[in-house]
Structure 1
Amino acid sequence: MDHSLTAQPPRFDITPHQIDQVVTKFYAKVRADSVLGPVFAAHVPEDGWPAHEAKIASFWRNAILYERSYDGNPMQKHMAARDVHGEHFPHWLALFDTVLAAELQPQTALAFSTLAHRIARGLRMGVEDLRAPVGAPPSL
């Protein structure tokens, strides 16, 4: 069977190398950021950045290119990190969008940003609902 005929096309035009570059540049900004740097430092040891970046790049290659190389549960990870709060997500997205605009063509940056914002919305809702008082309505 010819799998090239059944492979799902990418969500948008981007190469694995471009995804890796975005992830590397983004986490360089995160490590230097006064808000997000300490949160990430609590979960990623200094010598753990290459592995973390590889895992996140794999996540994005799966989400965009359908590589099926990512093995993880982002919702579970973000909910388990008790120092991750809903207000971190807009800041994370602003940094991410800055990197996308600097590294990619406008159309590709917009498509990647749209996907990132959609995923972040779900993660933020999960984190906020977990921390909501018992009986509080879910965030929508």
Structure 2
Amino acid sequence: MTALPPRFRVTPEEIDRIVAVFYAAIRAHPGLGPVFATHVTDWPAHEAKIAGFWRNAILYERSYDGNPMEVHRRAGNVRPGMFDAWLELFDAVLARELEPATAAAWSALAHRIGRGMRYGLVETATLPGGVPRLV
């Protein structure tokens, strides 16, 4: 069986660097930092898990075993509106750290995943009468 080619050109080391730089920015972010701090107690382990997620999503390494939607749902304090801030910060890190074509391709993938996550959370986080809770 032939391995699938990567979605775009990026190395495992670049993925690790993006994840590390991004989560340093997350910890400093006034809105997202406290949300993550509530749930992440071991940053190196979290970063390794998320780097595995991205290596799986981009390089097809099968280095991630988890259910991001369920984790975010179970957290209880993750709101759909937070994804915009997350994606803006992620895009800024990608633009600073990678070649433009790689940053654009990774950003497109992150936005597609973000739309799915936001949709999953909106569908399960509703107000009476089915009105979506957007914040």
Fold-level similarity (TM above 0.5): yes
Distance, in Å, in 2 between the alignment partners of 1:130 and 1:72 is 19
Map Cα deviations across residues 50-102 of structure 1 (whole Å, 9 max, x no partner): 00000000000000000001000001111111100011000000000000001
Report how far residue 137 of structure 1 moved. Answer: 6.8
Counterpart for residue 126 of structure 2: 132
**RMSD of equivalent CA atoms:** 1.4
Contact 2:125 2:132 survives alignment (8 Å): no
Distance, in Å, in 2 between the alignment partners of 1:35 and 1:129 is 23
Partner secondary structure for residue 7 of structure 2: coil
Report how far residue 128 of structure 1 moved. Answer: 1.4
Pairing partner for 2:6 from 3, 6, 10: 10
Map Cα deviations across residues 100-130 of structure 1 (whole Å, 9 max, x no partner): 0011000000000000000010001111111
Distance, in Å, in 2 between the alignment partners of 1:94 and 1:102 is 12
Counterpart for residue 82 of structure 1: 76
- Tell me which amino acid in the other structure corresponds to 1:132: T
Map Cα deviations across residues 8-29 of structure 1 (whole Å, 9 max, x no partner): 0000000000000000000000
Distance, in Å, in 2 between the alignment partners of 1:50 and 1:110 is 26
**Aligned-residue identity in percent:** 60
Q: Give the TM-score of the pair, scaled to structure 2.
A: 0.94
Report how far residue 133 of structure 1 moved. Answer: 3.0
Bigger radius of gyration, 1 or 2? Answer: 1
Distance, in Å, in 1 between the alignment partners of 2:31 and 2:37 is 11
Pairing partner for 1:56 from 45, 50, 55: 50
- Tell me which amino acid in the other structure corresponds to 1:70: Y
Counterpart for residue 22 of structure 2: 26
Q: Which moved more, 1:123-132 or 1:98-107?
A: 123-132
- Tell me which amino acid in the other structure corresponds to 1:42: T
**Superposed structure 1 runs of 4+ greater than 3 Å apart:** none
Distance, in Å, in 2 between the alignment partners of 1:130 and 1:101 is 33
For structure 1, the residue ranges without an aligned partner over 5 or more in a row are none
Partner secondary structure for residue 39 of structure 2: coil
Q: Give the TM-score of the pair, scaled to structure 1.
A: 0.91
Count residues in correspondence. Answer: 133
